[in-house]
Amino acid sequence: MSETSYIEMEQVPKALRPMIEAICRVGSELSVQIARGPLEERHGAELGSNTDGDTQKALDVIADKAFARALRGTGVRHYASEERETVEVLDPAGDFALAIDPLDGSSNIDVNVSIGTIFSIYPAREIPDDSFLRSSEEQIAAGYLIYGPQTTLMVTFGNGVLQYVRDPLDGRFKLTVQNLTIPEGAREFAINASNYRHWSKPIRAYIDDCLAGVEGPRDKNFNMRWVASLVAETHRILTRGGIFLYPSDDRPGYEQGRLRMVYECAPIAMLVEQAGGQASSGCDRLLGQSAETLHARTPLIFGSADKVSRVCAYHDLPEQEVSALFGNRGLFRA
């Protein structure tokens, strides 16, 4: 294949083309590996834990090494991966910094559920960590690859969201949607309801009102979705609408949420806002916030603008009003 044959480049800024080409090339190769599953090797085998204590799968490591190798010589000075403790300098003369979750949702590998790759790009700074510990509003690009029935690239360069689909006949990513926007009116929410007892009162009150259906204050029925793959949840909401919630809760280690600001939340927030939605840490807009450490976590709520605004409104209510809402409407009362 020629040097730029893995993606149609017309919409990609010239300075970023080598990086996007490398990401698409590795994504195309991973797509084939994932599709082969156990025919190739046990990609879902556990290798231990990464630097943040999460279980690490064989394909997590394979993907991380493949992206780091492919991004050398593409203008990436600083490479920060969820699978690595520190930032790696790939090209001291590079102008860009790239943060990546090489394989999001890897716990789903063995059960054949969609998984993906999340990435974001910043201008590089002199100190490696400083390239990423900055306002998330300074991202110049963000996107994800989803390895599902179709392998799809969703990406923004700050001027709307582009959707590319990998053609399995030639392995190239081809533009299918330009200026994608989140549909309005969806009656779906995504949350892990097994953690209900750990949530704050505003989150419980919001979910209670959704579950009350047409008899409740929302006057409509809702469906719940939960895939436990951030890329899969994001893709559904970008293409179909709705809201995703991964709030903080009172369990040890979840006080600041569970998703990582640098590798997951910041790029997803940029995509969602570029598609006309909103992304929040509960009360505050997520874009503009920054991480204090490379692997810092944050609550994440995103989706259709009206739904995210409603969750924020629950948090803005005085404690006594939220308690009254919860007491009157709670569907899980003893």
pLDDT in tens, 11-30: 999 999 999 999 999 999 99
Q: Which residue has the higher pLDDT, 273 or 42?
A: 273
- Whether residue 8 is predicted with pLDDT greater than 80 in this model: the reply is yes
Name the residue ranges covered by the structural domains of the chain: 14-178, 188-329
Gap between the Cα atoms of 59 and 80, Å rounded: 18
Gap between the Cα atoms of 332 and 103, Å rounded: 36
Question: Per-residue pLDDT averaged across 105-110, rounded?
Answer: 84
254 pLDDT tier (thresholds 50, 70, 90): very high
Q: Give pLDDT, residue 134.
A: 98
CATH code of the domain made up of 188-329: 3.40.190.80
Q: Give the strand pairing for 243-246 and 223-225.
A: unpaired
Q: Give pLDDT, residue 52.
A: 58
Gap between the Cα atoms of 216 and 149, Å rounded: 37
Query: pLDDT tens across 135-179, in order?
Result: 999 999 999 999 999 999 999 999 999 999 999 999 999 999 999
- Whether residue 334 is predicted with pLDDT greater than 80 in this model: the reply is no
Q: At 305, which amino acid appears?
A: A
Question: Per-residue pLDDT averaged across 104-112, rounded?
Answer: 86
Question: How many C-beta atoms surround the C-beta of residue 137 within 10 A?
Answer: 15
Instruction: Collapse the DSSP code of 73 into the 3-class scheme (helix H, G, I; strand E, B; otherwise coil) and give the result.
Output: coil
- Closest by Cα among 34, 15, 64, 30 to 173: 30
Q: What's the whole-model pTM score?
A: 0.92
114 pLDDT tier (thresholds 50, 70, 90): very high
- Whether residue 333 is predicted with pLDDT greater than 80 in this model: the reply is no
Q: Give pLDDT, residue 106.
A: 85
* CATH 3.30.540.10 correct for 14-178: yes
- Whether residue 101 is predicted with pLDDT greater than 90 in this model: the reply is yes
Structure tokens at 302: 């995103």
Question: Per-residue pLDDT averaged across 33-50, rounded?
Answer: 72
Per-residue CA distances from 223 to 183, 217, 243, 245 (Å): 16, 16, 11, 14
Gap between the Cα atoms of 225 and 97, Å rounded: 34
- Whether residue 48 is predicted with pLDDT greater than 80 in this model: the reply is no
- Whether residue 118 is predicted with pLDDT greater than 70 in this model: the reply is yes
- Whether residue 6 is predicted with pLDDT greater than 50 in this model: the reply is yes
- Whether residue 46 is predicted with pLDDT greater than 80 in this model: the reply is no
Question: How many C-beta atoms surround the C-beta of residue 295 within 10 A?
Answer: 18
- Whether residue 311 is predicted with pLDDT greater than 80 in this model: the reply is yes
- Whether residue 331 is predicted with pLDDT greater than 60 in this model: the reply is no
- Whether residue 332 is predicted with pLDDT greater than 50 in this model: the reply is no
Gap between the Cα atoms of 134 and 98, Å rounded: 13
**Residues contacting residue 38 through CB under 8 Å, at least 6 positions apart:** none
- Whether residue 47 is predicted with pLDDT greater than 80 in this model: the reply is no
Query: pLDDT tens across 278-310, in order?
Result: 999 988 999 999 999 999 999 999 999 999 999
282 backbone dihedrals φ, ψ, rounded to 5°: 130, -60
* Residue that has been written with the tokens 């998703």 in this structure: 259
Question: Per-residue pLDDT averaged across 204-223, rounded?
Answer: 94
- Whether residue 326 is predicted with pLDDT greater than 60 in this model: the reply is no
- What is the Cα Rg of the chain in Å? 20
Question: Per-residue pLDDT averaged across 242-263, rounded?
Answer: 96
Q: Give the ranges where the chain is alpha helix by DSSP (H).
A: 17-36, 58-71, 201-211, 230-240, 266-274, 305-316, 319-329
Question: Per-residue pLDDT averaged across 184-194, rounded?
Answer: 96
CA-based angle 149:168:69, to the nearest 5? 95
The mean pLDDT of the chain is: 91
Gap between the Cα atoms of 133 and 266, Å rounded: 11
- Whether residue 62 is predicted with pLDDT greater than 80 in this model: the reply is yes
Q: Give pLDDT, residue 1.
A: 42
Question: How many C-beta atoms surround the C-beta of residue 328 within 10 A?
Answer: 11
Question: Per-residue pLDDT averaged across 72-86, rounded?
Answer: 97
- Whether residue 109 is predicted with pLDDT greater than 60 in this model: the reply is yes
Gap between the Cα atoms of 299 and 15, Å rounded: 33
- Whether residue 187 is predicted with pLDDT greater than 60 in this model: the reply is yes
- Whether residue 34 is predicted with pLDDT greater than 50 in this model: the reply is yes
Per-residue CA distances from 48 to 55, 58, 184, 218 (Å): 6, 9, 42, 45
Long-range Cβ pairs for the range 326-333 (8 Å, 24+): 326/201, 326/204, 326/205, 326/208, 329/205, 329/208, 329/209, 329/212, 329/216, 329/217, 330/204, 330/205, 330/208, 331/208, 331/211, 331/212, 332/196, 332/204, 332/208
